[in-house]
Amino acid sequence: MPEHTSFFSYLVAMFPALGENMKNLGHSLAGKPVTHHSAEPIVASIFVCLLVVGLALAARGKITDYDKSVLPEEKLSLRTFFELFVGTFYDMMKDMMGPTRAKRYFPVVGTAACFIFFSNFLGMVPGFLPPTSSWNITAGCAIVVFILFNYYGLKENGMGYLKHLAGPVWWLAWLMFPLEVVSLCLRPITLSIRLMLNMAVDHLLLSIILGMVMFIVPIPIMMLGTLVAIVQVVVFCLLSSIYIALATEHEDHGGDHAPAAHAGHGTEPHAPAAH
């Protein structure tokens, strides 16, 4: 297939009216037309969202029967996959910030985990590109996390959240506050670029190998791609959980006695610092 082209590009090209509307929308928002290739990550993201919702509803239908759902199934199924998937990321958050805050903020991290996981693995299917190989998509995910963890920090600690950005002593506030603000603003950039670069390079490498040799040789590359796809989901969600834990940690006590530090500066006696 041509470079930067997938089945979604051809799908958009099949509907001229849709393509024309996309061009007009691009002119209105960005001052330039949106081509079939540039719209492909957005269309793929919509497809992933619909896929996740459909799979979630199917899994929910199996859980609503409480008498049968109490007993685990003997083989891997859609229900057991989601139980393991959701349980893994919830346990990660619970160990980091305690059960109370983990339940409160898990919808953010859990939703990001599902979207990024299925987006990454969409690129393993021949003829498709992973939406997460586009910076527009990964930046959108990172910005949502950035807005939410700052909102949660202000909601939990009020002006004390901003006070922590000024550092432990008032006479260093002129230096610490700008540094901490810059550090906060760099978080969505590093989150999005790390995910985008890893997935783009991984998919490009797989495409090159498949273009040269179609049998046997690409298998190790696909295994490596699977590992990269899983690791990038864990890294994105782990860092997002750390940012939320830092922002919502209370000064007077350890929240739910979780191993997270205060947002904005250094360490505290009972917790290691993480940024």
Q: For the segment 162-175, what is each residue's pLDDT rounded down to a tens digit?
A: 888 887 777 878 88
Please tell me the predicted confidence (pLDDT) of residue 31: 60
Is the separation of the CB atoms in 149 and 106 below 8 Å?
A: no
Lowest mean pLDDT among 18-27, 36-45, 132-141, 191-200: 18-27
pLDDT higher than 70, residue 257: no
pLDDT higher than 80, residue 216: no
Please tell me the predicted confidence (pLDDT) of residue 240: 95
pLDDT higher than 70, residue 217: no
Mean pLDDT of the region 202-213: 74
Lowest mean pLDDT among 9-13, 112-116, 222-226: 9-13
Write the burial class of residue 12 (CB in 10 Å: 0-12 exposed, 13-18 middle, 19+ buried): buried
Q: Which residue type is seen at 194? A: R
pLDDT: which is higher, 115 or 259 = 115
Is the separation of the CB atoms in 267 and 273 below 8 Å?
A: yes
Cα 228 to Cα 237: distance, rounded to the nearest angstrom: 14
Q: What percent of the chain has pLDDT over 70?
A: 73
pLDDT: which is higher, 171 or 269 = 171
pLDDT higher than 50, residue 33: yes
pLDDT higher than 80, residue 35: no
pLDDT higher than 50, residue 6: yes
Highest-scoring range by mean pLDDT, 149-158, 164-173, 215-224, 242-251: 149-158
In the block, tokens 């797989």 appear at: 206
Lowest mean pLDDT among 48-52, 185-189, 253-257: 253-257
Q: Which residue type is seen at 259? A: P
The residues, any chain, with a CB within 8 Å of residue 26's CB and separated by 6 or more, are 32, 33, 34
Residue 167's nearest CA partner among 259, 263, 274 is 263
Mean pLDDT of the region 25-54: 76
Q: Which residue type is seen at 156? A: E
Q: Which residue type is seen at 24? A: N
Mean pLDDT of the region 251-270: 43
pLDDT higher than 80, residue 39: no
Cα 124 to Cα 206: distance, rounded to the nearest angstrom: 9
Please tell me the predicted confidence (pLDDT) of residue 145: 95
